[in-house]
Chain A
Amino acid sequence: MNWFERLLGKKEKSGATAKQRLQMVLIHDRADVSPGLLEQIKDDIIEVIAKRLEINPDTVVVNLDNTAQESRLVAEIPLLHSNGRRRAAVQ
């Protein structure tokens, strides 16, 4: 959005919305991983990690990330009692 539209408090333009939606849907299409499968993988990861470490399942984030060349699964799993200074990132 440009300065003028922000000034008028306008909504985001539909072209920009289209681009964002496309980027999201293509991440899943390209990796052939549906949002539902991602949820299941997340639950599995939580189960495995929780056996060994103390975590809060609500803070776990599992995402797909991709470029034109590759797709990767990125999991972020904050550990409890770490004062936010330490985080385990599994890729």
Chain B
Amino acid sequence: MSGKVVTVTSGKGGVGKTTVTANIATALAMLGKKVVAIDADIGLRNLDVVMGLENRIVYDLVDVIEGRCRLRQAMIKDKRQPDLYLIPAAQTRDKMAVSPSDMILVCDELRQEMDYIIIDSPAGIERGFRNAIAPADHVLIVTNPEVSAVRDADRIIGLLESEEKGPGRLIINRLKPEMVARGDMLSIDDVLDILAVELIGVIPEDESILISSNRGTPVAMSGLNGSSASQAFRNVAQRIEGQTVPFVDLTPKTGLLNRLNNWFSKS
């Protein structure tokens, strides 16, 4: 077996990398895949709390790299899924404790047993970013429909090209359909026009994401009240699996004035 390494990155902080990593890892596990999520944000460990596994940490990624434990010992099993694991980041070290070749070694070992290795990368474009993309077979770039996040995504796309990590695929997170409809937010087409990269997911702004993080249960798993973000994450997992899944229509129910507007601007 040879698992695939998927790195989730963005450049800008706070756009939703950790949320996306937790949910995609969970959604792939729900499809029956063997999945391990790695928190590569050394010193700012977070994926553990988003996945609700913070109380079970004994060893971390740096312990593995520095030989204090075997890889298996650092893999925390998520008991809610048949085959989902987390390798947490070290909390009291910094990015320099890990090198790109360490990451490649760890991932090569994991590929033997796992279908997917999903890596959550830190913000920025320095060492931590290079660590996260070094072993990647696929890269997912997370952005928000917002000027600074899209600008940083463009920079990441450029860096990925120069590292020969392919163009990557884009996740637009925190889209607010009502704001797009009234022209006060970049639309999916605007972002794709600018970045010229393949789209793999659109995640709406959704309160259930915060509620799920509060509880430590990724929304892909809890599916809170038919949350639209939950479905969107599960769709991304299926697309990673190579299935063709239509994008959910996020246009808000239109009132009379909107319909009139649309009708006139089309003609």
Contact = CB atoms under 8 A, between A and B. Distances in A.
A3 B265 CA distance: 7
A36 to B, nearest CB: 18
Contact of B147 (A2, A22, A30): A22
Interface stretch (A10-18, A45-53, A55-63, A78-86): A10-18
Contact of A22 (B150, B183, B261): B150
B185 A15 contact: yes
Nearest to A3: B264
Contacts of A14: 183-185
A22 B155 contact: no
A14 B187 CA distance: 11
A19 B261 contact: no
B150 A2 contact: no
Nearest to A13: B183
Interface residues of B, number: 24
B146 interface: yes
B46 to A, nearest CB: 28
Contact of A15 (B180, B193, B260): B180
Contacts of A26: 151, 154, 194
B31 interface: no
Given A26-B154, A30-B154, A15 B264 contact: no
Interface string B132-156: 0000000000000011001100110
Nearest to A12: B183
Contacts of B190: 15, 18-19
A86 B238 CA distance: 58
Most buried by B among A4, A21, A30, A68: A68
A34 to B, nearest CB: 14
B182 interface: yes
A4 B184 contact: no
A2 B194 CA distance: 22
A65 to B, nearest CB: 15
Contact of B151 (A2, A16, A22, A68): A22
Interface of A: 2-4, 13-16, 18-19, 21-23, 25-26, 29-30, 68
Interface of B: 146-147, 150-151, 154-155, 158, 179-180, 182-187, 190, 193-194, 196, 257, 260-261, 264-265
The 6 closest A-B pairs by CB, nearest first: A13-B183, A68-B196, A2-B265, A15-B183, A19-B190, A14-B184
14 contacts: A4-B264, A13-B183, A14-B184, A15-B180, A15-B183, A15-B185, A18-B186, A19-B193, A19-B194, A22-B150, A26-B151, A26-B154, A29-B151, A29-B154
